[in-house]
Amino acid sequence: MNHFLSVHDVNDLNALVSAGLAAKKTPFADQHLGQNKTIGLMFFNQSFRTRISTQKAAENLGLKVISLNVGSDSWGLEMEDGVIMNGTKAEHVKEAAAVIGRFCNIVGIRSFATLADQAADYAEQVFHQFRKYAGVPIVNLESATRHPLQSLADCITIAEFKKTQRPKVVLTWLPHIKPLPQAVANSFSEWMHQSDVEFVITHPKGYELAPEFAGNAPVIYDQDEALKGAHFVYGKNWSSFSQYGQILTEGRDWMIDDAKMSLTDGGYFMHCLPVRRNLKVTDSVLDGPQSLVIEQAANREWSAQAVLREILLSL
């Protein structure tokens, strides 16, 4: 693996899931791989799980870790080519990427959607520029449109808990008070399309994901109908793609509770965290035996380790 920006950088998804599960069993078996190598983690946005799990995974592999909060630790970066830099951005990504690529063997980047400009967000300029100029492998720590380390952790979790060969997985929109990016939903959908599952999406009308992410998954606008027989219920809020970045409906009746879960086939509840309790999903579901949210988060360490391991092997 060279870069890890999306599922399209993965050669063999099953092998990567297996590598994650192997890392979970013997976390320090590959500690020599990262010896005398360094990963730089650049955060354009806040991070809790991703920050910690990626650092943990890197150190499990013997890597040194350098973390940087862009814009507070250092300065803002200009992403556009050809501009006269007489504004607030003191440094161009051409230099910043090339320089960090000289100091670090791998560079992880987190840069969220602004939700102000669909075309700009979906162009993923930050990642394209870093991939172009850093000269080293780039790892997506959540971009405007994707969160592949989360999606891989989700696949690992499903692999651990599935009871049937081809489980039914339902991605369901949940209510929220703020407009959120589509990244996690996009990415999960993209990874499910590469997995041996029956994949269904449910959301209120107007929340259709971008076609390149939704793919040919059935979209059901009746949540109860969609949940029937589910083995895994994957909850997430996202703002509208077509009316970009907008909240179209309060949707309080889309919150997952015990009654909704009882429609499933003893299904598990999944969510990438953070999750707003009693707004997106009830305490009773989150605290019940069917919730996988902590296991999912814990698997972030093993998804990062599987990815970094494969990158290190190809350096």
Cα Rg of the chain, angstroms = 19
For 314, the token pair is 């190809």
Residue 146 interacts with a copy of itself (CB under 8 A): yes or no: no
- Establish whether the linkage from the previous residue to 289 is cis, with ω within 30° of 0: no
| CB-nearer residue toward a copy of itself: 54 or 182 | 54
Q: Is 236 annotated as a binding residue?
A: yes
Q: Does 284 bind a copy of itself (CB under 8 A)?
A: no
Tokens standing for residue 189: 């959908």
Q: Return the number of the residue (66 or 220) whose C-beta is nearest a copy of itself.
A: 66
Position of tokens 């297996």?
18
List Cα–Cα distances, 32 to 37, 50, 201, in angstroms. 10, 23, 42
- Residue from 15, 259, 273, 315 that binds a copy of itself (CB under 8 A)? 273
Least distance to a copy of itself from the beta carbon of 68, Å?
A: 7
276 annotated ligand binder: yes
| Cβ distance to a copy of itself smaller for residue 98 or 219 | 98
Given the complex with a copy of itself, which of 9 and 78 has the nearer CB atom?
A: 78
Q: Quick check: 118 and 244 in contact, CB under 8 A?
A: yes
Q: Smallest distance from the beta carbon of 155 to a copy of itself, in angstroms?
A: 18
Residue 143 CA to residue 226 CA, distance in Å, equals: 28
Residue among 122 and 269 whose Cβ is closer to a copy of itself: 269
Q: Where are the alpha helices (DSSP H) in the chain?
A: 13-25, 49-60, 93-103, 118-123, 125-133, 148-161, 183-192, 211-214, 223-227, 258-261, 283-286, 293-313
Nearby residues of 53 by Cβ (< 8 Å), 6 or more positions away: 149, 297, 300, 301, 303, 304
Single out the segment in contact with a copy of itself by CB under 8 A; choices: 58-66, 110-118, 223-231, 260-268. 58-66
Strand 77-78 to 64-69 pairing: unpaired
The verdict on 22 binding a copy of itself (CB under 8 A) reads no
Q: Is 263 annotated as a binding residue?
A: no
| 149 is annotated as contributing to ligand binding | yes
Task: Give the contacts of 164 (CB within 8 A, at least 6 positions apart).
Answer: 231
* Residue 278 makes contact with a copy of itself by CB under 8 A: yes
85 lies in the binding site for a copy of itself (CB under 8 A): yes
Contact 171, 207 (CB under 8 A): no
Q: In what order do the strands lie in the sheet with 138-140?
A: 64-69, 38-43, 106-110, 138-140
95-103, 115-123, 138-146, 204-212 -> range binding a copy of itself (CB under 8 A) = 95-103
104 labeled binding residue: no
CB atoms under 10 Å from CB of 262, counted, come to: 10
Which of 21, 52, 123, 248 contacts a copy of itself by CB under 8 A?
Answer: 52
* 8 CB-near residues (< 8 Å, 6+ apart): none
Was 176 annotated as part of a binding site? Answer: yes
Which residue positions form the known binding site for N(2)-succinyl-L-ornithine?
Answer: 142, 176, 236, 276
Which residue positions form the known binding site for carbamoyl phosphate?
Answer: 75, 110, 147-150, 272-273, 300
List contacts with a copy of itself (CB under 8 A): 27-28, 36, 38, 40, 43, 46-49, 51-53, 55-56, 59, 64, 66, 68-69, 72-75, 78, 81-86, 90-92, 94-96, 98-100, 102-104, 177, 273-279, 283, 286-287, 293-294, 297-298, 301
